[in-house]
């Protein structure tokens, strides 16, 4: 019956082991990719948003996360909230962090 099934021959010598330097090199490369592609751009966006929030003042026209556009009527420096006028008689209290962009003056009238 041996003529139908080939006989298996064991390979001479032990299997080669992977070097530790290759593993360290791969981990360093993954760390660099993670830093430059994920962490660094996100940290830059967070820094820009903090600067935007710190620079807003009363009278600025802002765009909110939900798409609302309004003018800041009251801003409290020690709390995280401000009052936005959406129209002449409509005022809404929102968090400062909900501001997406500061719009140029006169944007609300052109809408």
Q: Where are the domains of the chain?
A: 19-55, 57-111
pLDDT value at residue 4: 62
pLDDT of residue 21: 87
pLDDT at 16: 58
pLDDT for 85 equals 94
Q: For residue 20, what pLDDT is reported?
A: 81
Q: CA geometry: angle at 58 spanning 56 and 60, to 5°?
A: 60
In this prediction, residue 14 carries a pLDDT of 55
| Per-position pLDDT tens, the chain of length 111 | 556 666 656 555 555 566 788 889 999 999 999 999 999 999 999 999 999 999 999 999 999 998 999 999 999 888 899 999 999 899 999 999 999 999 999 888 888
What sign does the CA torsion over 65, 69, 78, 55 have?
Answer: positive
- Integer Cα distance of 13 and 45 in angstroms: 55
Looking at residue 108, what DSSP letter applies?
Answer: H
Between the two ends of the chain, the Cα-to-Cα distance in Å is 89
pLDDT for residue 101: 94
Distances (CA, A) of 1 to 6, 10, 108: 10, 20, 91
Fold of 57-111: SH3 type barrels. (2.30.30)
């Amino acid at each position: 019956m041996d003529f139908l099934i080939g006989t298996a021959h064991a390979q001479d010598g032990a299997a080669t082991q992977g070097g530790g330097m290759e593993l360290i090199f791969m981990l360093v490369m993954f760390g660099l990719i993670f830093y430059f592609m994920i962490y660094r751009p996100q940290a830059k966006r967070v820094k820009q948003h903090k600067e935007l929030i710190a620079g807003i003042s009363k009278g600025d026209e802002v765009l909110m996360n939900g798409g609302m556009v309004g003018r800041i009527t009251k801003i409290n420096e020690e709390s995280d909230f401000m009052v936005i006028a959406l129209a002449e008689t409509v005022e809404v209290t929102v968090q400062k962090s909900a501001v997406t962009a500061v719009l140029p003056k006169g944007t609300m009238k052109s809408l």
